[in-house]
Amino acid sequence: MKLYDSPVAPNPRRVRIFLAEKGVVVPTENVDLAQLQQNDPAYAAINPLRRIPALALDSGEIICESVAICRYFEEIQPDPPLFGRDALERARVEMWQRRAELDFLFPIALAFRHSHPAMIEMEKPQIPQLVELNRPRAIAFARFLDSELANRRYLAGNAFSIADITALVAADFARPARIKFPDELVHFARWRADVSARPSAGA
């Protein structure tokens, strides 16, 4: 088994945090995005969409997409559960994971991809209007999270889950995307400090 990883991209970090929470260690191989190594034929043969991460199983099968990789490890090592413990919890986690991904991580990633100089070779053309559109969307979702987190410790309830992992990775990725969250979002800030203090956040 091998995980194709990148230390600079948000999606591989989601998998690393998930594995750290599980206490699972997987051999990794770094794909150098700055050198466009994801476009090399050798990696394109692993993931034709040329995205990171990818998990190569001992059988030779490849699993791509960060949440799919996390679901695989949830099945082979259920404890601690990060996708919920019963039907209702799993539905809540799925709901918040999708919200965190679609309404928080994606706008932040778009703002980064279309503004950062390091992305010039990967995002052609960079479209400034997408930056101006998506920065406010990310801040608006942080405000929504702030109101929701006034009533509970984590996104999907009282247990840490993959939804929190996605939202933490998104919040941290806001910095290189040059998105600053308002200081008055005290519940959001409390949640962020809480999840950032977990050992897995350093993965």
Record the tokens describing residue 45, joined without a space.
């043969």
| Statement to judge: residues 61 and 132 lie in one domain | no
- Clarify whether residues 93 and 63 are in a common domain: no
Show pLDDT as tens, one digit a residue, over the chain (203 residues): 999 999 999 999 999 999 999 999 999 999 999 898 999 999 999 999 999 999 999 999 999 999 999 999 999 999 999 999 999 999 999 999 999 999 999 999 999 999 988 888 888 898 999 999 999 999 999 999 999 999 999 999 999 999 999 999 999 999 999 999 999 999 999 999 999 999 999 99
**Does some domain include residue 81?**
no
Residues 63 and 101 in one domain: no
Burial of 148 (0-12, 13-18, 19+ CB in 10 A): middle
Please, are residues 61 and 68 in contact by the beta-carbon 8 Å criterion? no
Per the CB < 8 A criterion, the answer to whether 137 and 107 are in contact is yes
DSSP summary character for residue 48: T
The answer to whether the beta carbons of residues 62 and 47 sit under 8 Å apart is: yes
Cα(87)–Cα(79) distance, rounded to whole angstroms?
Answer: 16
Listed in sequence order, the DSSP H helices in the chain are: 10-22, 41-46, 66-76, 87-100, 106-113, 128-149, 162-173, 186-196
- Give phi and psi for 152, each to the nearest 5: -160, 165
Domain count, the chain: 2
CATH code of residue 181: 1.20.1050.10
Indicate whether 82 belongs to any domain: no
The CB-side HSE value for 201 (13 A sphere, CA atoms) comes to 17
Output the domain CATH number for residue 32: 3.40.30.10
> At which of 37, 54, 76 does a domain end?
76
- Domain limit, last residue, from 47, 76, 105: 76
Report how far residue 98's alpha carbon sits from residue 112's, in angstroms, rounded to the nearest whole number: 20
